Amino acid sequence: MASGLTAELRLPAHPTELGVAREFVERACVDFGLDADAAFDFVLAANEAVTNAIRHGRADDDGQILLVTLADGERLTLVVRDYGVFVMPPLESPPRLEGGRGMAMMRSLTDDFELLIDALGTTVRLSKDRR
């Protein structure tokens, strides 16, 4: 994936599609030239973002969520978009046994993490720099 190029995947919002999402991101990492460790971290963060979109978000009218990869200079970005409005848990609430650590994990595995919420849905942007 040369600088400036993008790839898009519309994915059924179902847990059985996580492997397809991981393969999509793995391909972007290889094409972009991330090393194995950086690619592993990025795919793991991507898996969490897609899992959250499937579990906590809402699909579009066709039952899908959107994944977009963007290569820009030395940075690879993944955008995961669903069409539900994310409700931020209270800051003082401790992580639950069954979850609650995803945003911290995504932040720690990437070079940039953004959570964007608007009236039309929720977007997670993950970026990894090529070193």
User: pTM higher than 0.85 for the full model?
Assistant: yes
> What is the rounded distance in angstroms from the CA atom of residue 27 to the CA atom of residue 82?
22
Structure confidence by residue, pLDDT tens digits, 3-20? 666 899 999 999 999 999
Query: pLDDT value at position 77?
Result: 98
Tell whether 98 is covered by a domain.
Answer: yes
CATH number at residue 70: 3.30.565.10
Q: Are 126 and 106 in contact (CB under 8 A)?
A: yes
Residues 73-106: pLDDT tens digits?
Answer: 999 999 999 998 766 655 555 555 455 678 999 9
- Give the pLDDT mean for 58-75: 96
1 domain-assigned = no
- Measured on CA atoms in the order 39, 124, 50, 1, is the torsion positive or negative? negative
Q: Domain span at residue 36?
A: 6-129
Q: Is residue 20 part of a domain?
A: yes
DSSP string, 47-61: HHHHHHHHHHS---T
Give the chain's domain count.
1
The answer as to whether 80 is a domain residue is yes
At residue 91, the pLDDT reads 54
Give the mean pLDDT of the chain.
90
pLDDT-above-70 percentage for the chain: 85
In a domain, 105, yes or no: yes
